[in-house]
Chains A and B, each alone.
Chain A
């Protein structure tokens, strides 16, 4: 009998029909061809850090864990081709050994690179795009079981679609990434009040390469986090207390090890009304949810991009994340705050908790129909489509 799988936070449990762990493109091709012949669906999984059911299937689950590592690199072009099952923290060390580094990372780096890219995972920084924007080429196993090479030089429109595609256009077997030369970052964390943070927010966002803040509902205080190249950024934040100061390779400074598991909802909002939305969220938490919610709320920025289904597509973006301990109820809290996010035109993170369906999402993405057309062309038989994905990506005619 196939084993039951549980995602990182424990909120999703399912038992697929079978789990495949291919070690080559050829083996993966045979798996997909056989599935298509049997009219089964195939879903790829990464590290299962995802907490939305986009990878859940009753049929065939494909783990890419054996397809990992850096396949080739070119420091002169600041590019590398990596395999899909490479965890981000492994990728960071491997790239560093070749004199390369990712431009940005999220707070957590346990995800596999293909999953992080395909779901539009991001870090923070007003000029920092999502991780998906690193993708400039690669290889994709299609629903027909064939390998398709793609590149931004030959087909930029396809790359704009495939970057954030939730594994519905095919399964990445290699990803060519545009990177930076290896660099150091100085990471500092500061404690201050919400009023001071609000007063200086625009400067904090503008003056630091990467900046975000956590708001703590139980004390109405904040922690500011800044990342800058050594010698750059503000010398001091005089209205805050410095509590952490470290410098090192960028990939080790951007993310932090997290052992405590949590549920998360995150929405991406237009930057110009991002803080106004945050204040609405803060008020709602203080007035209605503080009894049961102790975890912090995270405020980040993301630069706009042109990927069809990126949450930052076409607009400077602020993201607001809600957290709740994995052992505690979360839906009452998340659903209530989600109403505020939706009111502000928020787009939910594809890999986190939300309740939106295709009809809700379509008006939020100007290139929704173009993506859907490409998806239908790439996978007319729905080999990569499951009921949760039909709910998410189809409909909305």
Chain B
């Protein structure tokens, strides 16, 4: 299979909703990434988080096995530190092999749940 994706991706509009309704963890409000690694080599990702009023934090290491997809929530990132909820941020995702990155937000702060999703911006 031809390599699919890029090694640099950007999510500029991050903001993990603070409030949730419904049964958790399924209904926990969250920002998440879906990462497809269609190559035959494991992908080693490094995510750097940028904020409006303080220095960037990272890298957050994350691995995606060869020929696998992995979903993870920004809410659960802990290394090097937990991200604040209800705070604007941007994420820069670097990978050592081409991957495809999709960003999603689930907001269950009100009973009428909202989900939006979009492709992350691919860098060069």
Interface residues of A (CB under 8 A from B): 216, 218-221, 260, 290-295, 325, 327-328
B32 to chain A, nearest CB (A): 12
Other A-B pairs, 18, CB within 8 Å; known A220-B28, A290-B85, A325-B80:
A216-B76, A219-B24, A219-B28, A219-B73, A219-B75, A220-B24, A220-B25, A221-B24, A221-B25, A290-B18, A291-B84, A291-B87, A292-B82, A294-B76, A295-B82, A325-B81, A328-B81, A328-B82
* Minimum CB distance partner of A296 in chain B: B78
Q: How many CB-defined contacts (below 8 Å) exist between A and B?
A: 49
Contact A294 B75 (CB under 8 A): yes
Q: What residues of B have a CB within 8 angstroms of the CB of A325 in the complex? A: 78, 80-82
Q: What residues of A have a CB within 8 angstroms of the CB of B76 in the complex? A: 216, 218-219, 294
Give complex CA distance A221, B73 in Å: 14
Q: 6 smallest A-B Cβ distances: which pairs?
A: A294-B82, A219-B25, A220-B24, A325-B81, A218-B75, A291-B85
Any chain A CB within 8 A of the CB of B83?
A: yes
Q: What residues of B have a CB within 8 angstroms of the CB of A328 in the complex? A: 81-82
Q: What residues of A have a CB within 8 angstroms of the CB of B25 in the complex? A: 219-221
Using a CB-CB cutoff of 8 Å, which residues 83-106 of chain B contact chain A? 83-87
Interface residues on B, range: 10 to 19
Give complex CA distance A19, B80 in Å: 32
B109 to chain A, nearest CB (A): 13
Q: What residues of A have a CB within 8 angstroms of the CB of B87 in the complex? A: 291
A262 to chain B, nearest CB (A): 9
Give complex CA distance A291, B83 in Å: 9
Contact B78 A291 (CB under 8 A): no
Contact of A294 among B18, B24, B28, B83 (CB under 8 A): B83
Give complex CA distance A310, B24 in Å: 37
Q: What residues of B have a CB within 8 angstroms of the CB of A216 in the complex? A: 76
B15 to chain A, nearest CB (A): 12
Q: What residues of B have a CB within 8 angstroms of the CB of A292 in the complex? A: 82, 84-85
Any chain A CB within 8 A of the CB of B79?
A: yes
* Minimum CB distance partner of A195 in chain B: B23
* Minimum CB distance partner of A259 in chain B: B79
A53 to chain B, nearest CB (A): 24
B63 to chain A, nearest CB (A): 16
Give complex CA distance A210, B89 in Å: 41
Give complex CA distance A290, B18 in Å: 8
Give complex CA distance A377, B82 in Å: 48
Q: What residues of B have a CB within 8 angstroms of the CB of A290 in the complex? A: 18, 85
B41 to chain A, nearest CB (A): 25
* Minimum CB distance partner of A327 in chain B: B81
Q: What residues of A have a CB within 8 angstroms of the CB of B18 in the complex? A: 290-291
B73 to chain A, nearest CB (A): 8
A107 to chain B, nearest CB (A): 16
Give complex CA distance A272, B120 in Å: 50
* Minimum CB distance partner of B18 in chain A: A291
Give complex CA distance A327, B57 in Å: 10
Q: What residues of A have a CB within 8 angstroms of the CB of B24 in the complex? A: 219-221
5 CB-based A-B contacts, threshold 8 Å? A218-B82, A219-B76, A294-B81, A325-B80, A325-B81
A60 to chain B, nearest CB (A): 35
Q: What residues of A have a CB within 8 angstroms of the CB of B84 in the complex? A: 291-292
Q: What residues of A have a CB within 8 angstroms of the CB of B85 in the complex? A: 290-292
Give complex CA distance A87, B83 in Å: 34
